[in-house]
Amino acid sequence: MDRGRNAPPTIAVMNFFTSTTVAVAFSFLTSCASLPPTPAELAEFSQAWKTAGTGERGYLVRIDLVREHLAGKEEAEVLEFLGAPDSDEGRAFVYRLGWLPEGRNWYLKVSFDAEGRVDGVWADR
């Protein structure tokens, strides 16, 4: 009997490939899942954001994280998380993120509803 290239795979080899495939699929699926940030991640982002200069903020900004964390929060909580805005437009705080290649400023805007709670977070030019 020829045990060369055409030999059937053994159970051990099939188990190895099956478990490897399952592990890779699990890793891929969990990396795609949108898990909420941990308190430590939020604290780290907040500290980095508040100490960063305008240009650095553009690299730091994670709209999804900021939007999710600030949804429904009061102005004082926004100030605690992001620090003082570069501009206060009444019902919106504006944070400069730096310059875009076309020579325009890029901003993070946090808007508030009539009760003073966050109702929107987005990047704008």
The tokens 């308190």 sit on which residue? 39
Considering the domain boundaries, does residue 18 fall inside one?
no
Q: What is the model's pTM? A: 0.68
- The residue type at 20: T
Per-residue pLDDT tens digits for 32-74: 556 788 899 999 999 999 999 888 888 888 888 899 999 999 9
CATH number of residue 81's parent domain: 3.30.1450
Specify if 92 maps to a domain.
yes
The Cα–Cα gap between 124 and 94 comes to 10
Domain count, the chain: 1
Burial status of residue 121 (CB atoms within 10 A of its CB: 0-12, 13-18, 19 or more): buried
Q: H-helix or E-strand containing 97?
A: strand 92-99
